Chains A and B, each alone.
Chain A
């Protein structure tokens, strides 16, 4: 399991906080230079997981290995903690200047003042806050404060950086700007990073691997496209935005295609299945094509349903169209398509999707 690229490894981790079990992770491996996005709903143990990795939580059982060396959490692991940096949801700045905040980690390491000066200024530049160096940390905007917190973490040149929802407290423009800058710094530094988020876009943009957590456990780990397109269970599917989730029964299976009966409709899916097997199927809303009723149009889609639009919800950049085709489907379409097709509630339309666009979850 572990090899030369393994930076951090967890075995049989159990952690409780305030009397209740918050983490139960049989194994987790972090490789050098990878960026991992830890996603999951609030209160699911993402922050606790980062704190445990940072050596800041007492472990009920299990072990953490850094470069094959076992870590004892707490004050005895100062050497290990100095190889890591962590950024929390709130900036947690100290009541002093921006410069002194960013310098703190270096001062704790007894670095010379000239080197501190150089490193701090380089970090302030990278996060575009050099002009705030002498400002009191109490007089910063939310975005500036979080930039200071990030600069403070990067100033120590950690081997691993842990970012706990670093944008969650920011308004959208500040969030976008900071997310862009962080993406640049992460790529430029090549530092191994884990960030928690509940925003899939951040995860997609920043991370090479997605890890989904549910109630203190890791339920899926893989490339972003694997997690988004092949969720392992209904929880992950719902969480990553699969909206068309149905339970059905396999009716027949032939030539690499099988049919599933859902609410009286038959859906054809690529793959195989045993008759009478109960399955959960998911279709991403963006994989459903909406067209006007026109018998002359030919399509390669195996699944074609005629139905009525029940509502159209405008979401700015795109729209969600809710359909009743015997089963309730949700499709996303662009503003341009909505305009061209002049869609509104009550219209008859055709919804189609390929047999390859259906993802099957098997229970148990």
Chain B
């Protein structure tokens, strides 16, 4: 108990004293996870819309693959991304293993199925005849997609939240493809693992607090947007 209280106090000091290393780690975490979420939105939303609106053989199979991917274990992603980026791997020539770019790639692989899956569900949750109504109003294919995505914007915000939440808190893939290199690829989660291992509980607690505050702030912001739109 004493350890815990002491840890919290020291953590508080680290945070308010603007400890340079803690802040660098926090910023990098945000940068990597935001980029990864952005990449996953660019891929996941169009893919989800396509899966929800199109009709091709094997569509259900693909959707169940995506849904399984929503629970992809980060360590498995880390392993495969590492294998691909390894010196002799298919993408080894890029020489990005143990860089933030590799971490963005791994986190995007984790977040994309989440964003895709929620997008499919959001679009499919619209009234069955809405697509026909949009077409009946004279919409082209692009206009139809745009209007349906706009109609699903509130549940789609949940996709953003879930995607970001999934990658900011993920540690397995980041440590494997990033390597937790100080000043280069050390992020909040990997640093927490390391500090806990070293017995520096105060630093670990400080990092965890920041992590939770970050996750909360981003989700709070998105929730405010989502609820403001919702009629009371």
Asked if A85 and B231 sit within 8 Å, CB to CB, the answer is no
Chain A's closest residue to B146 (CB) is A108
Q: Which residues of A contact B15 (CB under 8 A)?
A: none
B184 close to chain A: CB less than 8 A:
no
Of A90-98, A209-217, A222-230, which binds chain B?
A90-98
Q: Which residues of B contact A90 (CB under 8 A)?
A: 127, 129
Q: What are 10 contact pairs spanning A and B, CB under 8 A?
A: A56-B132, A75-B144, A78-B140, A84-B136, A94-B147, A95-B154, A108-B143, A109-B138, A138-B231, A156-B137
Known: A56-B136, A108-B143. A88 touches B129 (CB 8 A): yes
Asked if B141 and A92 sit within 8 Å, CB to CB, the answer is no
CA distance A78 to B231 in the complex (A): 33
The distance from the CB of B21 to the nearest CB of chain A, in whole angstroms, is 46
Query: B136: which of A81, A94, A109, A139 is its contact (CB, 8 Å)?
Result: A81
B135 close to chain A: CB less than 8 A:
yes
Q: Which residues of A contact B147 (CB under 8 A)?
A: 94, 104
Asked if B138 and A81 sit within 8 Å, CB to CB, the answer is yes
B130 close to chain A: CB less than 8 A:
yes
CA distance A138 to B132 in the complex (A): 20
B139 close to chain A: CB less than 8 A:
yes
Q: Please, how many residues of chain B have a CB less than 8 angstroms from a CB on the other chain?
A: 21
B6 close to chain A: CB less than 8 A:
no
Q: Which of A70-90 contact B (CB under 8 A)?
A: 75, 78, 81-82, 84-86, 88, 90
Q: Which residues of A contact B129 (CB under 8 A)?
A: 88, 90, 92
Chain A's closest residue to B231 (CB) is A138
Asked if B138 and A92 sit within 8 Å, CB to CB, the answer is no
B95 close to chain A: CB less than 8 A:
no
Asked if A156 and B151 sit within 8 Å, CB to CB, the answer is no
Instruction: Determine chain A's interface SS by DSSP, over half rule.
Output: mixed
Asked if A88 and B133 sit within 8 Å, CB to CB, the answer is yes
A136 close to chain B: CB less than 8 A:
yes
Asked if A92 and B133 sit within 8 Å, CB to CB, the answer is yes
Known: A81-B136, A92-B129. 20 other contacts (CB 8 A): A54-B136, A56-B136, A75-B135, A78-B138, A84-B136, A86-B132, A86-B133, A86-B136, A88-B129, A88-B133, A92-B127, A92-B133, A94-B151, A104-B147, A108-B137, A108-B138, A108-B139, A109-B138, A136-B231, A156-B138
A147 close to chain B: CB less than 8 A:
no
The distance from the CB of A155 to the nearest CB of chain B, in whole angstroms, is 10
Q: Please, how many residues of chain A have a CB less than 8 angstroms from a CB on the other chain?
A: 25
CA distance A54 to B144 in the complex (A): 16
CA distance A84 to B139 in the complex (A): 12
The distance from the CB of B62 to the nearest CB of chain A, in whole angstroms, is 20
A105 close to chain B: CB less than 8 A:
yes
The distance from the CB of B130 to the nearest CB of chain A, in whole angstroms, is 6
* B112-149 contact mask (Cβ, 8 Å, vs A): 1 or 0: 00000000000000010110110111111101100100
Q: Which residues of B contact A84 (CB under 8 A)?
A: 136
Contacts across chains A and B counted by CB atoms under 8 Å: 55
A204 close to chain B: CB less than 8 A:
no
CA distance A249 to B194 in the complex (A): 98
CA distance A85 to B139 in the complex (A): 11
Asked if A81 and B135 sit within 8 Å, CB to CB, the answer is yes
Q: Which 10 A-B pairs have the closest CB atoms?
A: A82-B138, A86-B136, A105-B137, A92-B133, A138-B231, A75-B141, A81-B138, A108-B139, A56-B132, A108-B138
A152 close to chain B: CB less than 8 A:
yes
Q: Which residues of B contact A130 (CB under 8 A)?
A: none
Q: Which residues of B contact A82 (CB under 8 A)?
A: 138
The distance from the CB of A78 to the nearest CB of chain B, in whole angstroms, is 5
Chain B's closest residue to A139 (CB) is B231
Query: B130: which of A81, A92, A138, A152 is its contact (CB, 8 Å)?
Result: A92
The distance from the CB of A212 to the nearest CB of chain B, in whole angstroms, is 24
A338 close to chain B: CB less than 8 A:
no
Q: Which residues of A contact B143 (CB under 8 A)?
A: 108
Asked if B140 and A85 sit within 8 Å, CB to CB, the answer is no
| Residue from B127, B129, B133, B140 having most chain A Cβ neighbours under 10 A | B133
Q: Which of B206-232 contact A (CB under 8 A)?
A: 229, 231
Asked if A152 and B127 sit within 8 Å, CB to CB, the answer is no
CA distance A162 to B136 in the complex (A): 10
Query: A105: which of B130, B138, B140 is its contact (CB, 8 Å)?
Result: B138
| Residue from B130, B132, B136, B150 having most chain A Cβ neighbours under 10 A | B136
The distance from the CB of B51 to the nearest CB of chain A, in whole angstroms, is 18
The distance from the CB of B45 to the nearest CB of chain A, in whole angstroms, is 18
CA distance A355 to B143 in the complex (A): 61
Chain B's closest residue to A91 (CB) is B133
* A153-164 contact mask (Cβ, 8 Å, vs B): 1 or 0: 000100000100
Q: Which residues of A contact B231 (CB under 8 A)?
A: 136, 138-139
Asked if A56 and B138 sit within 8 Å, CB to CB, the answer is no
* A111-152 contact mask (Cβ, 8 Å, vs B): 1 or 0: 000000000000000000000000010110000000000001
Q: Which residues of A contact B150 (CB under 8 A)?
A: 94
A29 close to chain B: CB less than 8 A:
no
CA distance A56 to B143 in the complex (A): 15
Q: Which residues of A contact B151 (CB under 8 A)?
A: 94-95
Known: A90-B129, A95-B151. A56 touches B135 (CB 8 A): yes
The distance from the CB of A52 to the nearest CB of chain B, in whole angstroms, is 11
CA distance A104 to B139 in the complex (A): 9
The distance from the CB of A195 to the nearest CB of chain B, in whole angstroms, is 15
